[in-house]
Amino acid sequence: DAMVIQNPRYQVTQFGKPVTLSCSQTLNHNVMYWYQQKSSQAPKLLFHYYDKDFNNEADTPDNFQSRRPNTSFCFLDIRSPGLGDAAMYLCATSPQGVPTDTQYFGPGTRLTVL
Amino acid sequence: GQNIDQPTEMTATEGAIVQINCTYQTSGFNGLFWYQQHAGEAPTFLSYNVLDGLEEKGRFSSFLSRSKGYSYLLLKELQMKDSASYLCASMDSNYQLIWGAGTKLIIKP
């Protein structure tokens, strides 16, 4: 089945130790998104890629970086995780990013920072 | 500013009907989405409205009034598996989704 895959599902890191979360998709969608969602809060968009065009949200901290080496894969790098970065990180895709496009979410990676 | 308001939590009985309301204020409007999110899982798409009126899809219906900046999600014949958070999201003029914090729906037998 076509899907959005995130690895790992659970990630534990230490304060200040860089961590990379990965997302892959078999849907061949042009647009990929990274969201951060804390408990009982709305998902917060960090970045999105329209094909290779990178779009950074204005309030995304510099501590967060992203890479999209090809259509299928996208990575979220957290350079120096702080305790406040503990959250669920959701990857999503949509075909073209136009209004009627649904976003398809991966299962998420829950990040714990010790 | 951009804002989405929905109740934090609602409780309903199995077999009953529940309406979850959402009001939105966004810079421009390109549609209103509802997503369902079970605890610890990713959101899954339920509905999309861009025109005024009611869209029915099985047990779930979604309504939109653009002039009032208002939408609701109607769930009929509630089942225990409907216990989840329901997220309202408005798409703004830049085609970005502005998300609400979600309404946690608790179903009691």
- Give the pair of three-digit tokens for residue A38: 């804390």
**Alpha carbon distance B12, B14 (integer Å):** 7
Identity of the residue in B50, B96, B101 whose CB atom sits nearest the CB atom of A40: B101
- So what's the pLDDT on residue A32? 94
Across the interface, whether the CB atoms of B95 and A97 are under 8 A apart is answered: yes
Candidates B30, B85, B95, B98, partner chain A, best to mutate (most A CBs within 10 A): B95
Going across the sheet that includes B53-57, the strands are B3-5, B18-25, B70-75, B60-65, B53-57
Tell me: the pLDDT tens digits for B66-94? Answer: 999 999 999 999 999 999 999 999 988 87
The first and second tokens of residue A100, run together, are 């009627």
Question: Quick one: pLDDT at residue A1?
Answer: 64
**The token pair that represents B80 in the structure block:** 């225990």
Q: pLDDT truncated to tens, each residue of chain A (114 aa)?
A: 669 999 889 999 999 999 999 999 999 999 999 999 998 888 999 999 988 888 888 789 999 999 999 999 999 999 999 999 999 999 999 988 676 688 899 999 999 999
Of B48, B95, B99, the CB nearest to A43: B99
- The H or E element containing residue B47 is strand B44-49
The dihedral sign for the CA sequence A46, A49, A52, A55: negative
Q: CB of B9 within 8 Å of any CB in chain A? A: no
**Region B54-64: what's the mean pLDDT?**
95
Q: Concatenated DSSP letters for A52-113? A: TEEEE-TT--TTEEEE-SSSSEEEEEESS--GGG-EEEEEEEESS--TTPPPEE---EEEEE
Q: What is the pLDDT of residues B10-44, one digit of tens each?
A: 999 999 999 999 999 988 888 999 999 998 888 99
Which tokens is B18 given? 């529940």
Task: Confirm or reject contact between B30 and chain A (CB < 8 A).
Answer: yes
